[in-house]
Structure 1
């Protein structure tokens, strides 16, 4: 006959073994879930040098001008433009219009209308641009940055017209 003490010891061993494996699996699953959520988050979008607006180059003479700014400026003989005049609307070529980027990650600015074209810069989300023309297949748009003279091609459908 078997001793009840032996059966009790065997039962305790198997229950302990099952509980130990369960605790190890639950802990491993929790650690895996933690690392998976940390690694699956998108990193912040880097800003490259060609995406930043060009800064005007200061000449040695312009470095001296802030020291002279205590003097009163001379009045200019030409009248200043009134606020109702918009110089940007005069510069737009026929068929061009103002738009704003709607793609959350921003757009790549390319030198020709192709995914294989060289990337010459970028356009940030919600940045104002000027649509100059569309490609023949209507999949690309030639744009000019509103704050500068840089032009390039972006994928169509990622901007909205600004009135």
Structure 2
């Protein structure tokens, strides 16, 4: 074997070893990054947050009592000259406004915002065993109503609705009112 053949063999051997080491390091980095990323939060078939939240909201709403004003609105009557509203009655009837008035905060309550990037699970009670009744998205505005005795859970209300529940403390930042 000649000197140039030996040099070619050594260079080829060194390049092959370098390629194998590089491929091994790349594969190791790929698997390490995949294995260290936290998995998405699972949602199981028996967790129906929308249905549970609707049932909770329906239970918390007061039952309407028939009054002369809403009884007339719910029972259709044929239009006759005797039951058509006069101009005075039409003016006296208030019309609903398009913009809802902001709710006043209860004593001790404050506004906050969710800081956990995956959002939070809204639970029926201040523990992990309680039913999941919904969720709160990242950066969603909320109202903190109370704190559990052990200071690990916060009772909140979603600012856009009437959904109330418990979330883990430490995932919310206080927002100053404007």
Confirm or deny a common fold (TM above 0.5): yes
Q: RMSD of the alignment, in Å?
A: 3.8
139, 152, 161: which one aligns with 2:165: 152
Q: Does 1:21 align with 2:6?
A: no
Deviations 1:28-73 (A, max 9, x none): 434554566577667888999737x97xxxxxxxxxxxxxxxxxxx
* Corresponding residue number in structure 2 for 1:60: none
Contact 1:100 1:162 (C-alpha < 8 Å) held by counterparts: no
Inter-CA distance 79–23: structure 2 relative to 1 (3 Å threshold): closer
* Corresponding residue number in structure 2 for 1:50: 49
58, 63, 77: which one aligns with 2:93: 77
Q: Please state how far the C-alpha of 1:21 moved relative to its aligned partner.
A: 1.8
Name which of structure 1's ranges 113-122 and 24-33 shifts more when overlaid on structure 2.
24-33
* Corresponding residue number in structure 2 for 1:94: 107
Alpha-carbon distance in 1 for matches of 2:129, 2:40: 25
Matched positions, count: 137
Using structure 2 for the length normalisation, give the TM-score.
0.55
Unpaired runs of 5+ residues, structure 2, are: 55-89
Alpha-carbon distance in 2 for matches of 1:135, 1:38: 37
Inter-CA distance 136–34: structure 2 relative to 1 (3 Å threshold): closer
Using structure 1 for the length normalisation, give the TM-score.
0.59
Q: Does 1:103 align with 2:116?
A: yes
Name which of structure 1's ranges 122-131 and 42-51 shifts more when overlaid on structure 2.
42-51
Alpha-carbon distance in 2 for matches of 1:15, 1:114: 64
Alpha-carbon distance in 1 for matches of 2:140, 2:169: 15
Inter-CA distance 76–162: structure 2 relative to 1 (3 Å threshold): farther
Q: Does 1:131 align with 2:130?
A: no
